[in-house]
Structure 1
Amino acid sequence: MSMTLPAAAVFVPRGKRPSIWVVLPVLFLVGLSLLPLLYVGMKTWEAGWREALHLLWRPFVWGLMRNTLALMAGVTVACALIGLSLAWLLERCDLPGRRLWGVILCLPFAMPAFVSGFTWVSLSPRFEGLGGAILVMSLSKYPLVFLPVAATLRNLDTSLEESARTLGQNRWGVFFRITLPLLWPSILGGSLLIALHMLVEFGALSILGLQTFTTAIYQQFELEFSNANAAMLSAVLLVMCLSMLWLELKVRGSGRHVRIGQGVARRAAPLTMGALMPVGQLYCLLLAVLGSGIPLAMLAYWLKVGSSAAFPVADITRALLTSLSVSLGGAGLSLLLALPVSLLVVRYRGHLAIWAERLPYLLHALPGLVIALTLVFFALHYVPALYQTTGLLLLAYALLFLPLAQAPVRTALTKAAPQLEEAARTLGASPFSAFCRVTLPIIFPALAAAFALVFLDAMKELTATLLLSPTGMTTLATEVWAHTANVEFAAAAPYAALLVLVSGLPVYILTTRMYLNRA
């Protein structure tokens, strides 16, 4: 006999309090997440409101604002148009080879943005500046819109569109009245994520020579040693990021698209392109060449030039091993912190659980540069022994990538019924032992996925690594940035190639499974 219990009865144990090993990490993370706000507030208070306004009310700051907003708007709109058009072309049209195109057109997602910037700048200095930055970043980020929109189109119930056609709507009317509203959550979600990335992007924009808030903050701190200026610019950037976060939550929660009834699980008949077939093929070919063809070709060229001149195997190996070690450590720490946060959110109530639920969104909105500056300040003033240690860098990674780790862990925990742990406890097991022996094996695949996601992003992390890494430590990302800043393109190529290889393999496997193995 089976019985379906209400969600609250399954996932929210009444009358029970979370264990101390769940509460302490959550309190630790809540405190850390508030440190950037405290840091910016302290610096503003020390400078005084008059000095703060003097630092902010300058043509220099308005120029940064103009560049940042222009970049954000240009890249977001371009990515939304490219992602929507590609998703429609590959999911709803009879384009030959569309499954293979789906794999090829996702390859830019595997290349870190600062690597793409390095390849384009090494091709010609004309790609420096705002126009080049919009081009390069759009070609790097459009998969963030393309992938969710394509997945939505693939799973969309076609009966709604067919009903509209029977009521006299033509194809354009069906698209604008029925299909597009159903795609809006995916389009807006991906677009707002891209906009947030543009606000906090540093490496690619530094290489492309575009001054934004992130590059200016780094220069103020690292080159001019001005904590006050850096803090004031961080305050503006923080307000912009939190505004984008509020907009994302507002858009995501403002409406729901639901149906009464389950509908029929079948795919829409592909639209015949006819004379437009060559245009569609040319469009995909152009995006493939610009998005991955030219960057990979330039990378191969500089790799060949560098190999013929000098190939420092020892330095490359050292940077690779350092990147692997700190990325593995950051992924492990992120997972250890994400697990208690997810447990508290899924299984318990109270104000702390609410804070823990909002925590990933707050951390997601904080630029890596602001987190790094905050950790530098508090380490120097309160824990000097922690400054310029690997531990401080791993802590920054955990703060930056906690949302990536928590999402799959939380989803898996919602499917692991706590009654299984209760049964183990009736047999004499302690709460911690019951969790480790019963629930942990159930959620292990999600833990592995979360670990892989954080590891891949940590391999490409640049801003926090530049500010927090111990003296003499080099990673693949920092070596690419340092050599490119000195216009040493051939020297940067081996490090960039290794980054692309490490990042490209899981992306290739994911897209291959999505398109080539699809029924």
Structure 2
Amino acid sequence: MLVSRPWFLAGTRGTYLIAIVIALFALMPLGFVFWATAVTGWETASQLIFRPRVGELMGNTLLLVIVTVPVTMILATVLAWLTERSDLPFARFWSVLCVAPLAIPAFVHSYAWIGLWPGFHGLPAGIAISVTAYFPFLYLPISAALRLLDPALEDQAASLGLSDAAVFRRVVLPQLRLSILGGGLLVGLHLLAEYGLYAMIRFDTFTTAIVDQFQSTYNGVAANMLALVLVLCCLVLLAVDAGLRGRRRYARIGPGVARQVRRTSLGAWRYPCLLLPIAAVFFALGVPALTLSRWLVAGGAAIWRMDEIGLALGQTLVICLVGGLATTAAALPIAWLSVRRPSRRSRVIEGCYYLASSMPGVVVALALVTITVRVALPLYQTVATIVIAYMIMFLPRALISLRASIAQVPAELEQAAASLGRSPARALWATTVRLAAPGAAAGVALSSLGIMNELTATQMLAPNGTRTLAMAFWALTSEIDYAGAAPYALLMILFSLPMTALLHHQSKKIAGR
């Protein structure tokens, strides 16, 4: 005990200091947007914000979110219930296919749809493709929540004479509230941040307008004001989510593991209900497969320019590995604090991480471009700047994986290592970090997956000469060379599939299946 107390104090203070510094870095884009507004002045800012073009963008964005998020919620919830709680034929097979679209970048979905229907543009296309691309983000947490629910609650409700539909509406659905709202928030933030999907179908949003403004005229003031409105939309979305969640808590009744859930019989609807997963899988997987096959066959061997493809693949793997390692290392201090020293202060720091990551990539990139140009010009368009952007955007992915692994490592091991004379950092490295290595590896992989499919920030911040798979794909599609872009799309999907499979496996493992 005489040794553990000084170790506790020194280790906690140092870890808090590192976590706070990282949180300040993560909040730079948010601070930059409000600073830029203050510097611009209210008169100029109001002229740039309250103009017809911004009203048009706001209308497009509101319609997109208001329609897409509820439709995605309903589709994902019904699919999750059919595959987890009903006697739908081949339910496990469909559950795998409902997660598989996570491996396909959103802008590849657009590429696939307009490859089959070239005239498919505007708001209807934006809604249809967004639902197709993003419903797995909701399906995964909802299906996992359904597997974890205690069936005793449903049995009690049924014993009171409630029908299956009433049990679902009054017992099951309220317990899915957090999963549905959390997934809906994630989808909403993706809608606000997405660029490639909407640029390809010529549907204007704040993100597409900011990127166009930046690339065409580099009008920093106008782009900053659009970024301000986009950030405010994100903050409103976060506030709405917090208000809808409320303070309710949901917990299983009784100790131990819940028994196997009885699947509901669909009766005469058993085979007609198959039409929903078939349609969802066709649009989410079949359309990209058809389009890619068509262009790969049409292009033949000529589109496999291995020197260019090899260069893009190599640069992508390097930047994904460096970004994933840096992001996971940055998440380690707060992950350790949230498990070992939970407090209001650690929760505030953790909240800063999540708030920063909710900022669209275009806002993060715009902030870092301006900051480096004005304050640290040697860092402009360097690997360091783009790695910082990835850290800000993908910290929560690494944080979640690390926190779960650290929680499984006994704290006494760190104390024992410190009692042998090791410094706090060495004690942490020798015990917790090494034993939490699987979680760290998952954090690196999840962060790398996001980096591989990231387009906007990479385009704006990457050093000259950088050409990742996503950048090469986008450059070729911008030139209407859809056949030439097909190999890059295929490689992005193939490298994303293992991590998608890991996500599905982990969601099953949590429920003990």
Bucket of the pairwise TM-score, normalised by the shorter protein: over 0.9
For 2:54, give the aligned amino acid: V
Ranges in structure 1 where 5+ consecutive residues have no aligned partner: 1-10
Alignment partner of 2:70 out of 70, 73, 77: 77
* Contact persistence 1:207–1:481 (CA under 8 A): no
Secondary structure, counterpart of 1:255 in structure 2: coil
Q: Aligned residue for 2:52?
A: 59
Summarize the alignment of residues 202-217 of structure 1 with structure 2, pairs less than 5 Å apart.
Answer: 202-217=195-210
Summarize the alignment of residues 35-434 of structure 1 with structure 2, pairs less than 5 Å apart.
Answer: 35-262=28-255, 265-348=258-341, 353-434=346-427
**Is 417-426 or 18-27 further displaced after alignment?**
18-27
Q: Distance in 2 between matches of 1:352 and 1:387?
A: 33
* CA deviation map 1:267-313 (0-9, x unaligned): 23222222212211222211111110111110121122223444321
Secondary structure, counterpart of 2:259 in structure 1: coil
* Contact persistence 1:196–1:365 (CA under 8 A): yes
**Is 83-92 or 308-317 further displaced after alignment?**
308-317
Deviation at 1:319, TM superposition (A): 0.5
Shift in alpha-carbon separation, 1:181–1:23, aligned structure 2, 3 A: closer
Q: Distance in 2 between matches of 1:47 and 1:308?
A: 53
* Contact persistence 1:159–1:264 (CA under 8 A): no
Ranges in structure 2 where 5+ consecutive residues have no aligned partner: none
For 2:494, give the aligned amino acid: L
* Contact persistence 2:316–2:452 (CA under 8 A): yes
Shift in alpha-carbon separation, 1:359–1:45, aligned structure 2, 3 A: closer
Q: Distance in 2 between matches of 1:305 and 1:188?
A: 43
Q: Distance in 1 between matches of 2:80 and 2:373?
A: 49
* Contact persistence 1:107–1:504 (CA under 8 A): yes
Alignment partner of 1:479 out of 468, 472, 487: 472
Deviation at 1:97, TM superposition (A): 0.9
Q: Distance in 1 between matches of 2:10 and 2:179?
A: 37
Summarize the alignment of residues 430-441 of structure 1 with structure 2, pairs less than 5 Å apart.
Answer: 430-441=423-434
**Is 108-117 or 418-427 further displaced after alignment?**
418-427
* Contact persistence 1:159–1:263 (CA under 8 A): no
Q: Distance in 1 between matches of 2:329 and 2:115?
A: 41
Deviation at 1:179, TM superposition (A): 1.4
Q: Distance in 2 between matches of 1:348 and 1:475?
A: 40
Q: Distance in 1 between matches of 2:507 and 2:235?
A: 33
* Contact persistence 1:363–1:403 (CA under 8 A): no
* CA deviation map 1:155-178 (0-9, x unaligned): 221121121122121222212111
* CA deviation map 1:61-80 (0-9, x unaligned): 01101111111122211211
* CA deviation map 1:190-243 (0-9, x unaligned): 112111111111111111211000000111111121100100010111111122
Q: Distance in 1 between matches of 2:243 and 2:7?
A: 31
Secondary structure, counterpart of 1:125 in structure 2: coil
Shift in alpha-carbon separation, 1:47–1:169, aligned structure 2, 3 A: same
Q: Aligned residue for 1:4?
A: none
**Is 28-37 or 165-174 further displaced after alignment?**
28-37
Shift in alpha-carbon separation, 1:42–1:405, aligned structure 2, 3 A: same
* CA deviation map 1:306-345 (0-9, x unaligned): 2344432111110110110011000111111111222333
Q: Distance in 1 between matches of 2:170 and 2:354?
A: 32
Q: Distance in 2 between matches of 1:153 and 1:403?
A: 24
Deviation at 1:412, TM superposition (A): 2.4
* Contact persistence 2:323–2:448 (CA under 8 A): yes
For 1:222, give the aligned amino acid: Q
Q: Distance in 2 between matches of 1:233 and 1:381?
A: 20
Q: Aligned residue for 1:8?
A: none
* CA deviation map 1:22-56 (0-9, x unaligned): 34532332222332233222322232101111111
Deviation at 1:347, TM superposition (A): 3.4
Q: Aligned residue for 2:448?
A: 455
Q: Distance in 1 between matches of 2:395 and 2:273?
A: 40
Count of residue pairs brought into register by the alignment = 509
**Is 72-81 or 491-500 further displaced after alignment?**
72-81
* Contact persistence 1:13–1:348 (CA under 8 A): no
* Contact persistence 1:299–1:497 (CA under 8 A): yes
Q: Distance in 2 between matches of 1:104 and 1:63?
A: 37
**Is 208-217 or 187-196 further displaced after alignment?**
187-196
TM-score by length of 2: 0.93
For 1:180, give the aligned amino acid: L
* Contact persistence 1:139–1:290 (CA under 8 A): yes
Deviation at 1:491, TM superposition (A): 1.2
Shift in alpha-carbon separation, 1:518–1:280, aligned structure 2, 3 A: farther
* Contact persistence 2:100–2:500 (CA under 8 A): yes
Summarize the alignment of residues 14-29 of structure 1 with structure 2, pairs less than 5 Å apart.
Answer: 16-18=9-11, 22-29=15-22
* Contact persistence 2:99–2:136 (CA under 8 A): yes
Shift in alpha-carbon separation, 1:37–1:93, aligned structure 2, 3 A: closer
Deviation at 1:264, TM superposition (A): 6.5
Q: Distance in 2 between matches of 1:274 and 1:27?
A: 57
Deviation at 1:397, TM superposition (A): 0.9
* Contact persistence 1:217–1:233 (CA under 8 A): yes
Secondary structure, counterpart of 2:27 in structure 1: helix
Q: Distance in 2 between matches of 1:156 and 1:369?
A: 39
Deviation at 1:495, TM superposition (A): 0.6
Q: Distance in 2 between matches of 1:513 and 1:247?
A: 29
* CA deviation map 1:356-392 (0-9, x unaligned): 2212211221111111111111111111111111121
Secondary structure, counterpart of 1:467 in structure 2: helix
Deviation at 1:349, TM superposition (A): 6.9
Deviation at 1:140, TM superposition (A): 1.0
**Is 264-273 or 319-328 further displaced after alignment?**
264-273
RMSD: 2.4
Deviation at 1:105, TM superposition (A): 2.1
* Contact persistence 1:157–1:263 (CA under 8 A): no
